[in-house]
Structure 1
């Protein structure tokens, strides 16, 4: 749990500035932030954020971080890094980090801790269930990763939905119980898991492919016991790239549904999204744009997923190795 928490925080610290810069560039163009909400990702999770109109005041720092005007033109990612740091201070590159960590860190801890426990149990019992002597560790890891993701999404989804509604209503965390009571009273207990299906449809296949590919690389490179930091970083990036590419059509659908759900929550329309099933949306995109439409945005997705996966798994494995060595030292004493 401590190892996964360490990996989650390090990943967020490294990846948040890139998404902050991306959102600020979009805000400058006004095209992407002219809607009710937008997606913000800290390298671990996607989060719905409310778009507020630009407030013209003599104190730009009072504006929401994504709408804060910069008195100079931002020309590309590197230029935005430099100019935002100079104008607002380097801490501005980590704007929006705290509220996302409230959900992202617990989700990551639940996911990785569950994965480790399930992998141990499946290694012990799966061969007996399948009627064989052994089961390939990569298959076991893929299955454990998928099941762990289902559990993590199920546990965290109500809190993410409540956090989004709190943001929409501009209320504090102290009033969370009132939001929960209002949500259950008005829409029923099951409504706390709205958005669960599209999240699972993308994240579970991603987790299965990711862990299967990662463990297979460990076998091929003989790194099963104590993988090196260099190997875990490389293998994490490769596994994330493969999983991200194969599940991209599901990511397109999930993004579409998240935006639809967010616009409903932030506009407080009270009506459910009628955008059709996942299969119908996939068919619609394929008919209009073909295979290219299903894999649109592959480059920016991989540019975010690959380094995030590399940082997360290498930090996690390094922390596990550190604690394992400490344990051996105590046992020897």
Structure 2
């Protein structure tokens, strides 16, 4: 029987830690590198943008933010994302690999398994990232009243309660479950075509990750618009007798009322531009750390095996040496 590639099938004692370290590094890199575009996406999704924040395109938005507000406004809220992305993505990739290896048959690609693994990973990831998204998006909107992420978090907790941090959790799951299922299935399908032997190949990881991100981002754009509304709680969207926009269906109704069907795809270009490189970066960094840690473990195992052999040899009983003393010749 052909042996599994150690890069794809890590030793049971190191698999979880390897995937968690690689996933944490990938998540931080993904969010940090593309954060300014994520800021633009949030602003373009606002229902009634301020005249000073009514952007024609992603490039126009970046130019105007930097020119009129300063570069630092494109990265407002990035610190809370850096703190949250590490543990969230560590759980995300660890859960994905655990479920995938538990359900997969050797040497056989199974898109159903990849989809199920992606869903399980999403539930864990979103439990950590949903409160982070609330603070991040309130820091990103135009003319945000908050100076720091800490101030934002404390104010939301004091005025709206703990519920405010998970108001969009269901919506985020409804969005991210199909997003991640499509994401992982597309990634694995691209890898089947571009890298069937599943060797470490940075180019194929980046191409597969980028295509997977683009497909999943476009399909789930309407849900992302609703999630942004639930997180930012735009004042114009809260009707008479209402204290907040609550729930996915309420958010759908509000978005349609203000902007029609086109409103569900507002900011979709920014979202795709954000997702293509960010998922490409995420997968390439993840696969690199997975490869590097695996190789290090292999070298460590080899050294240990050699040391054990020496110890066993040293501990082996030495054969008795029978000496005979020649009798004197008479």
Distance 1:91 1:322, change over 3 A: farther
In the alignment, is residue 326 of structure 1 matched against residue 296 of structure 2?
yes
Deviation digits for residues 62-106 of structure 1 (CA, Å, limit 9, x no counterpart):
xxxxxxxxxxxx97646976x79xx98x88875542222122222
Distance 1:230 1:79, change over 3 A: farther
In the alignment, is residue 207 of structure 1 matched against residue 180 of structure 2?
yes
In the alignment, is residue 296 of structure 1 matched against residue 271 of structure 2?
no
Matched position secondary structure for 2:104: helix
Contact kept in structure 2, 1:226 and 1:321, CA below 8 Å? no
Q: Which residue of 1 aligns with 2:3?
A: none
Candidates 153, 156, 179, aligned match of 2:126: 153
Cα shift at 1:208: 0.5
Structure 1 stretches lacking a partner, 5+ long? 35-73, 125-132
Distance 1:78 1:325, change over 3 A: farther
Q: Which residue of 1 aligns with 2:22?
A: 3
Cα shift at 1:305: 1.0
What is the rounded CA distance, in whole Å, between the counterparts of 2:265 and 2:133 in structure 1?
27
Matches within 5 A, 1:179-198: 193-198=166-171
Cα shift at 1:182: 6.9
Candidates 91, 106, 124, aligned match of 2:87: 106
Contact kept in structure 2, 1:103 and 1:160, CA below 8 Å? no
Cα shift at 1:215: 0.6
Cα shift at 1:306: 0.8
Matched position secondary structure for 1:153: helix
Q: How many residue pairs were aligned?
A: 270
Q: Which residue of 1 aligns with 2:191?
A: 218
Q: Which residue of 2 aligns with 1:253?
A: 226
Matched position secondary structure for 1:100: helix
Structure 2 stretches lacking a partner, 5+ long? 1-19, 304-330
Cα shift at 1:219: 1.3
Matches within 5 A, 1:1-333: 1-19=20-38, 31=51, 77=62, 96-123=77-104, 136-157=109-130, 193-223=166-196, 225-260=198-233, 272-274=243-245, 278-279=248-249, 282=252, 292-333=262-303
What is the rounded CA distance, in whole Å, between the counterparts of 1:75 and 1:172 in structure 2?
26
Of structures 1 and 2, the one scoring higher in RCO (CA 8 A, sep 6+) is 2
What is the TM-score when the length of structure 2 is the normalising length? 0.63
What is the rounded CA distance, in whole Å, between the counterparts of 1:254 and 1:99 in structure 2?
18
What is the rounded CA distance, in whole Å, between the counterparts of 1:159 and 1:24 in structure 2?
17
Distance 1:104 1:327, change over 3 A: same
